[in-house]
Chain A
Amino acid sequence: MDSKKIKQVMSIVFDVPLESITDDASTDTIPNWDSLRHLNLILALEEELGISIPNEEVGNLITYKLIELIVHECKK
């Protein structure tokens, strides 16, 4: 459930097709994933999923997998 939502948010914020957000998606595979959009992504994920991502994690979340992991952690 969350993974689908995360991918949707990423696709909208980065303005890329949903299919391009694969499980291996990262800042290397998505050219639009720059530092400014990264901030928007974090804020949008928080808004959509009703979570608060700890500040120290924000900079680390550079792959889809890591985001999924931290969202899971935040929801615990």
Chain B
Amino acid sequence: MEELKYTEILQRNKELAGTGNSQPYTIGILSNVIINSIKEILEYSCRTHHLEPNIEAGNYDNIVQDSTHYQQKDLVIVFYDVLNIIDQVSEYFEDIDEQKYISLRNKIFSEIDIILENLKNTPSVVFNSFSSACFAGINIQPSKSDQFVDEINTYLNTKKSNNVTIVNIDQLFIHIGLKRSIDYRFYHSSKAPYSFEFFKWYVLAIEPLILKNTGKLKKAIIFDCDNTLWKGIIGEDGIDAIDMSPTSKEGRIFHKVQQIAVYLSKRGVLVGICSKNNEQDVLEVFKNHKDMVLKEEHIVIKKINWVDKVDNIKSIASELNIGIDSLVFVDDSSFEINLIKEQIPEVHTIQVPAAIYEYPDLLLKSIRSQFSLVINSDDARKTEMYKQQYQREESKKSFTSIEDYLALLGIELTVFCNNKEHIPRISQLTQKTNQFNLTTHRYTESQIEAFLSEGNNNIYSMSVKDKYGDNGLTGVCIVKEEGINPKKVIIDTLLMSCRIIGRNIEIAYVDFIINDLTRKGYEVLTAEYIPTKKNEQVADFYEKMGLHLIHHSKEIKQYELKISEYEKNKIEYIKVSSQ
């Protein structure tokens, strides 16, 4: 896939659509940056393995809240990017004061807690490691962002449960190169930092996990012998001339390949031999050649004969009682490789490269994408030790409810009524906001100006800030008098920028507005929801706020409420003031 261009992936993905399993594999992606281009690349990867993916991306910068909705997915991927965390700090991060640093770090800790808690029953979660590569440059002195990233990575590692896999983003950056991974242009204009190149390698990195989760991983690896496990041909050159010595120039390559085979056998992979030779010659090598690392004890099945390899491979699969698609086959001969590819394409083949020095790396690369290696028990114990140590030291309370978490944020709203200075921003918000927008009426600046000068309209603009930063003017509500009945008003527009969705701000905002309308002597409130492709998330917003649905059609939902009947929600952790 890495060699394909984005448009090629799009085309092939479209061709493969609907060809996979009927049971979809559901994936949810949570992110605090824009990562939408990953969708088709990930779909394509799944479809090449006969999986039919169903991918849903959460709202922008809404990881914590969206994690509650995605528990049922087969896989949840978390792109929690430090770029956007650091961006929300108003001062230069390297110069942040200690108090603010600690409070920001603790906020991330509690967010990690909530995300992990919400996703604890999800079969598989991919969490990207936090990276400071974008900020650090080459600097021998550790920076504040390095320290920050170290602390939150350590926290994530100690708190994560077994269903969570951490993708080492720095490794990906090293592999691809930072400049080719990150596009700062689109980060600054659209919060979309990642290149196609990055997404391709990212998908390749998590592919084995998806294969593992769906039972599509390989179980056995079958090696040819001559020029595959050693240099030379035993039947012609004889036991003294074949070479797998750790000290000879080419022998050391084969030596390493054998080490890899042993490593696999220790980690639950079935290792077999399939070679056209006299059986005695080969067994002699395994028993008596001093440089052999791979021994008979590592090998579960041997087919050393003159039968063609297709038949041999088929009988290996049936004797081991595994599917033919669970096999990987390694051989130096293009004849054998092509025969297998043609006759049993389900078998993954690896041909020993002509540039022999590339052989071990090629083998390892294939292995990483095809096998799930059982970690050894020492590693597992080490993780457990860290966890216990951490729990002893932990004195900090875990935040596991959204309410606790929101309370921690210290959200403050300031609501302005009919503020002329806000006209440009109000107009811009009506033009740009799609998701949290009940009616999606688009207004120019002069239209907004006209509403204000009519004198019987109330335009409420709202700015939002919390302990960690100021989101600026991000909410608009336009309330108009109905005309015939001066005690009756209609909510013409209610919208909020997606930056602030999911914090119950909308509830506190509507509470405030209705309170203000009461104060001004209005008696009846009407409102509308006009569905668009993008605003489904607010389809039931007015119902939730206690308004009565009086008319419902495909194009519109209309509501009414006697203002005196409105029950305030009193979100106590959000402070609202007016200006």
- What residues of chain A lie closer than 8 Å to B192, measured between beta carbons? 39
Given contacts A15-B14, A55-B185, contact A44 B7 (CB under 8 A): yes
Residue contact A58 to B34, C-beta cutoff 8 Å: no
Q: How many Å lie between the Cα of A18 and that of B14 in the bound state?
A: 15
Contact between chains at B5 and A47 (CB < 8 Å): yes
Cβ A43 vs Cβ B6 within 8 A: yes
Query: CA separation between A59 and B183, bound complex, in Å?
Result: 15
B11:A12 contact, CB within 8 angstroms: yes
In the complex, per-residue mask of B33-73: 1 if CB is within 8 Å of any chain A CB, else 0:
01011000000000000000000000000000000000000
Q: Say if the beta carbon of B573 comes within 8 Å of chain A.
A: no
Q: For A55, what are the chain B residues with a Cβ–Cβ distance below 8 Å?
A: 185, 189
0/1 interface trace, chain A 2-44, chain B, CB 8 Å (1 if under) = 0000001100110100000000000000000001100110111
Contact of A12 (CB < 8 Å), options: B7, B186, B189: B7
Interface extent on A, as a size class? 10 to 19
Q: How far is the CA of A8 from the CA of B34 in the complex (A)?
A: 25
**For the complex, what is the distance from the CA of A35 to the CA of B433, rounded to whole Å?**
12
- Across the two chains, which residue of chain B brings its CB closest to A53? B185
Q: Is the CB of A48 within 8 A of B196?
A: no
| B530 adjacent to chain A (CB < 8 Å) | no
Whether the pair B7, A39 counts as a contact (CB closer than 8 A) is no
- Decide: B189 and A58 in contact? CB cutoff 8 A: yes
A31 nearest CB neighbor, chain B only:
B533
- Contact assessment for A40 and B37 in the assembled complex, using a CB-CB cutoff below 8 Å: yes
A43 touches B189 (CB 8 A): no
Could you tell me how many residues of chain B have their Cβ less than 8 Å away from some Cβ of chain A?
A: 17
A2–chain B nearest beta-carbon distance, Å: 15
Interface residues of B in 1-37 (CB under 8 A from A): 5-7, 10-11, 14, 34, 36-37
Residues on B with C-beta less than 8 A from A59 are 189
Among residues of B, the one whose C-beta sits closest to the C-beta of A45 is: B7
CB <8 Å contact, A39 and B6: no
Inter-chain contacts of B186 with A (CB < 8 A): 39, 42-43, 58
- Contact A36 to B5, CB < 8 A, known contacts A12-B11, A58-B189, A59-B189: no
Q: Which residue of A lies closest to B5 (CB)?
A: A47
Question: Shortest distance in angstroms between A9's beta carbon and chain B's nearest beta carbon?
Answer: 6
Contact, CB under 8 Å: A13 / B10: yes
- Minimum C-beta distance from B424 to chain A (A): 18
**Measured between alpha carbons, how far is A59 from B190 in the docked complex, in Å?**
11
A9 to B192, alpha carbons, bound, how many Å?
Answer: 20
| Contact between chains at B36 and A47 (CB < 8 Å) | no
B7–A43 CB distance below 8 A: no
A40 touches B6 (CB 8 A): yes
Which chain B residues border A44 with CB–CB below 8 Å? 5-7, 196
Check A36/B10 contact, CB under 8 A, given A47-B5, A55-B185, A58-B189.
no
Please report the C-alpha to C-alpha distance between residue A34 and residue B217 in the assembled complex, in whole angstroms: 38
CB < 8 Å neighbour of A43 from B11, B34, B195: B195
Q: Would you give the shortest CB distance from A44 to chain B, in whole angstroms? A: 5
Contact between B189 and A47, CB atoms less than 8 A apart: no
User: Which chain B residues border A35 with CB–CB below 8 Å?
Assistant: 190
Contacts of B7 in A (CB 8 A): 8-9, 12-13, 44, 47-48
Interface string of B188-206 (1 = CB under 8 A from A): 0110100110000000000
Q: What separation, in Å, do the CA atoms of A39 and B185 have in the docked complex?
A: 10
**B37 neighbours in A (Cβ, 8 Å):** 36, 39-40, 43
Decide: A36 near B36, CB < 8 A? Known: A43-B183, A43-B195, A55-B189.
yes
Report how far A48 CA is from B10 CA in the complex, Å. Answer: 13
Closest to B11 in A: A12
Enumerate chain B interface residues (CB-CB to A < 8 A): 5-7, 10-11, 14, 34, 36-37, 183, 185-186, 189-190, 192, 195-196
A-B complex: 4 closest residue pairs judged by Cβ atoms:
A55-B185, A12-B7, A36-B36, A44-B6
15 more CB-based (< 8 A) A-B contacts, given A42-B186, A55-B185 = A8-B7, A12-B7, A12-B10, A13-B7, A15-B10, A15-B14, A36-B34, A36-B36, A43-B183, A47-B6, A47-B196, A48-B5, A55-B189, A58-B186, A58-B189
**25 pairs, CB–CB < 8 Å, chain A vs chain B:** A9-B7, A13-B7, A13-B10, A15-B10, A35-B190, A36-B34, A36-B36, A36-B37, A39-B34, A39-B186, A39-B190, A42-B186, A43-B37, A43-B183, A44-B5, A44-B6, A47-B5, A47-B196, A48-B5, A48-B7, A55-B185, A55-B189, A58-B185, A58-B186, A59-B189
